[in-house]
A and B are shown apart, each in its own frame.
Chain A
Amino acid sequence: MTDNKPETAQIFGKGSNQVVWLTIILGLAGVAGAGALLFIIDRGPLHTNQGVYVNQDVPFSHDHHTEGLGLDCRYCHTSVEDSAFAGIPPTATCMNCHKTVWANTEMLEPVRDSWQTGQPLEWNRVNDLPDFVYFNHSIHVSSGVGCESCHGPVNEMPLVYQEHSLQMRWCLECHRSPEDFVRPKDEVFNLDWEPSDEGMSQKELGKKLVAEYGLEPKQNCSTCHR
């Protein structure tokens, strides 16, 4: 051994092998753990907001107005049958009733302000698709996709939350097998409709309706990503 070499032949301490094994095991566990974490977060409300109530300046209750008072979805969401966007009602729609009903309550103060100033109410969006997705309400409504199939039991929601993940796999679930979800066209706005109301299982009814309505949901990339 020449002079310029370290004195000891041992360059590693006695625990070195264990450190190596530990590094390998922890490294693999770390990679697997990070993968599992991403997998879980990607599918949960942390990422999708699924099932999270969204607060609004005016605590409008869909439950009270539809289930309680019997309003139809289309009383407020007027353009749902003819356009891509279902429509958010102008303050005037609220004031049709609230000029006289609960006309002085504190809760409705922002609505009256909006009515007087002409400044529209600002609602916080609940079901928000990414901007790179083209979605059209009218084609779905006129193909026999019920409001409830995507939005859930809005008639039982005091504050609205997002019922589904809105992830692409969820869209494709229906686009690949529409028979599992389609309903008679005149039941689209009936949020309490059940397939058993027609005396059939969803599968039987769905197959019949898909044939009857000639449904061919598209799965091309450019159908939604235009």
Chain B
Amino acid sequence: MTLRDVDVHNRENLGKPDFIAQDEDPGSITETISGVIFGKTYLWWITAMGLSFGLLSIGMVGFVWLLAKGVGVWGIQVPNAWGFAIVNFVWWIGIGHAGTLISAILLLMRQEWRTSINRFAEAMTLFAVACAGLFPVFHTGRPWLAYWMLPLPNTMRVWPQFRSPLIWDVFAVSTYATISLVFWYVGLVPDLAALRDRAKTLLSRRIYGIAALGWRGAADHWHNYEKAYLLLAGLSTPLVLSVHSVISFDFAVSQLPGWHATIFPPYFVAGAVYAGFAMVLTLMIPLRAIFNLHAYITERHLENMGKVMLVTGLIVGWGYATELFMAWYSGNIFERFMMYNRIFGPYWMAYWGLILCNILVPQIMWSKRCRTNAFWLFFASQFVNVGMWLERYVIVITSLTRDFLVGSWGTYHGTIWDWAVYLGTFGLFLSLIFLFIRILPALSMTELKMISPEGKKTGH
């Protein structure tokens, strides 16, 4: 199968509105999308970038304070040694999953609608993984020794504990980051060449030229490109399922009530895709409005994303129901208490908040009017963003603060430094997003041309 076959398949799939406005031709596509890059710098961009960088600065202050004083400035304390660091790590990693699902699985499943959003979603994946990676590294307390997590030759004659899911995490996340980066970059190469040819100054032509790796659009270039792209899609596909499964093992492999559950891997993967699509919508809806990209990101795109959110949200709801059922069915007093404590214990607000955000509000996606309406999609996405964070908060905090022995119970609250660092990763994420849309094509020109009316007639 090649990208062309995807097109052929879709050409046969007539009778539905297209995923691109029918008056778009290759010239207008390049014009619009590279216009975002070579056009003038808007005031709103400078403002938005400034605000994002401001948030990032708050995070940097937080990290410096953490380094100066130690991890004690965070709210973590026995029995809860994980706290925000792990909550945020799981949340950010989950968000990345939409990018991989859109780029890889939807490509292999010949879903043409992925074309307009895959580039952006892949970039979002990379930036989310970058934010996620910061948390475990700083959670070690000595980030300069974070390389100890890797199985490197050393003079201590010890290896990382290969039986621990925490080391599986290191492999899962680093593999994920690497494959996502390569996949994203390979997809960018023809677009970088287009930018090279349109850049105005010699310096920017050279920079885009080096990044384009000598792309000339020759037939053998396209041949290799399509092979590589499909192979990487194949490599990425299992990662969509494996990465968050491995992360769920951090919990499921332990024996704590509320963590030790076989439902965790599928339930975490669904939650990750759910959160990821919410984040794609959160970013895509304003971007579409600002740059007037309605021709490329159509209502059908929005509707499809709404459908994915609805389905994954229902799987997540099934996960919550299973947890409730198993707590009762197990007949185990610790499991039963764990569930009771989640619902009525000191963190009841987080639990009911997550039910509201993840289960109740997204049900508006059943309505086609809401699914095709940017406002309601954005509205629901915000609830899902918050809800998925609360889900991880509930899992991490309630189980750790109320384990088997009453003597080892405790309470946990994030401190101002927890929040500073969390906000800081928002700043990092948004700064990277704004830089990305300013210097790289946020939509894949190459692939849009393939699905444009003219592209369908002639190939590329």
Residues of A whose CB lies within 8 Å of any CB of B are 4-6, 11-12, 17, 20, 39, 42-43, 165, 167-169, 172-173
Give complex CA distance A167, B156 in Å: 7
Q: Which residues of B contact A (CB under 8 A)?
A: 153-158, 196, 200-202, 205-206, 209-210, 214
Residues of B within 8 A of A6 (CB): 201-202, 205
A168 touches B200 (CB 8 A): no
- A49, B343: Cα distance in complex, Å: 60
Main SS class of interface, B: loop
- With both chains docked as a complex, state the minimum distance between the C-beta of B453 and any C-beta of chain A, in angstroms: 26
Residues of chain A within 8 A of B205, CB atoms compared: 6, 11
Q: Verify A168–B157 contact, CB threshold 8 A.
A: yes
Interface pairs (25), CB distance under 8 Å = A4-B200, A5-B200, A6-B201, A6-B202, A11-B196, A11-B202, A11-B206, A11-B209, A12-B209, A17-B214, A20-B210, A39-B153, A42-B155, A43-B155, A167-B155, A167-B156, A168-B155, A168-B156, A168-B157, A168-B158, A169-B154, A169-B155, A169-B156, A172-B156, A173-B157
**A residues in contact with B200, CB < 8 Å:** 4-5
B182 to chain A, nearest CB (A): 16
Known contacts A4-B200, A5-B200; A12 and B206 CB within 8 A of each other: yes
**B residues within 8 A CB of A11?**
196, 202, 205-206, 209
List 17 other contacts, CB 8 Å, given A43-B155, A173-B157: A6-B202, A11-B196, A11-B205, A11-B209, A12-B206, A20-B210, A42-B155, A165-B155, A167-B155, A167-B156, A168-B155, A168-B156, A168-B157, A168-B158, A169-B156, A169-B157, A172-B157
Q: How far is the CB of B133 from chain A (nearest CB, A)?
A: 20
- What is the CB-to-nearest-CB distance from B201 to chain A, in angstroms, rounded to a whole number? 8
A170 CB to closest chain B CB, in angstroms?
8
- The interface residues of chain A lying within 8 Å CB-to-CB of B156 are 167-169, 172
> Chain A's interface: helix, strand, loop or mixed, by majority?
helix
How far in angstroms is the closest Cβ of chain A from B214? 8
A165: chain B residues within 8 A (beta carbon): 155
Complex Cα–Cα for A39 and B154 (A): 8
Report the separation of the CA atoms of residues A169 and B155 in the bound assembly, to the nearest whole angstrom.
6
Name the B residues within 8 Å of A168 (CB-CB). 155-158
Contacts of A173 in B (CB 8 A): 157
Q: How far is the CB of A160 from chain B (nearest CB, A)?
A: 23
Complex Cα gap A11–B210 (Å): 10
A77 to chain B, nearest CB (A): 28
A87 CB to closest chain B CB (Å) equals 29
State the CA gap A11–B214 with chains docked (Å).
11
Find chain B residues with CB under 8 A from A169 CB: 154-157
Alpha-carbon distance between A17 and B209 when the two chains are bound, in angstroms: 12
Roughly how many angstroms separate A6 CA and B235 CA in the complex, as a whole number? 41
Q: How far is the CB of B406 from chain A (nearest CB, A)?
A: 26
Q: From residue A196, how far is it (CB to closest CB) to chain B in Å?
A: 29
The smallest beta-carbon distance between A133 and chain B, in angstroms, is 11
Give Cα A194 to B85, complex, Å. Answer: 55
CB-CB nearest in chain A for B208: A11
When chains A and B are docked, how far (Å) is the Cα of A5 from the Cα of B38? 13
Measured CB to CB, the nearest residue on chain B to A48 is B155
Q: What is the chain A residue whose CB lies nearest that of B201?
A: A6
Closest residue of chain B to A175 (Cβ to Cβ) is B157
Most chain-A Cβ atoms within 10 A of its Cβ — which of B155, B156, B158, B201?
B155
Residue of B nearest to A219 (CB): B158
Contacts of A17 in B (CB 8 A): 214
Q: Which residue of A lies closest to B209 (CB)?
A: A11
Q: A12 to B203: give the CA distance in the assembly, Å.
A: 10
List 4 tightest A-B contacts by C-beta distance, closest first.
A169-B157, A168-B156, A167-B155, A11-B205
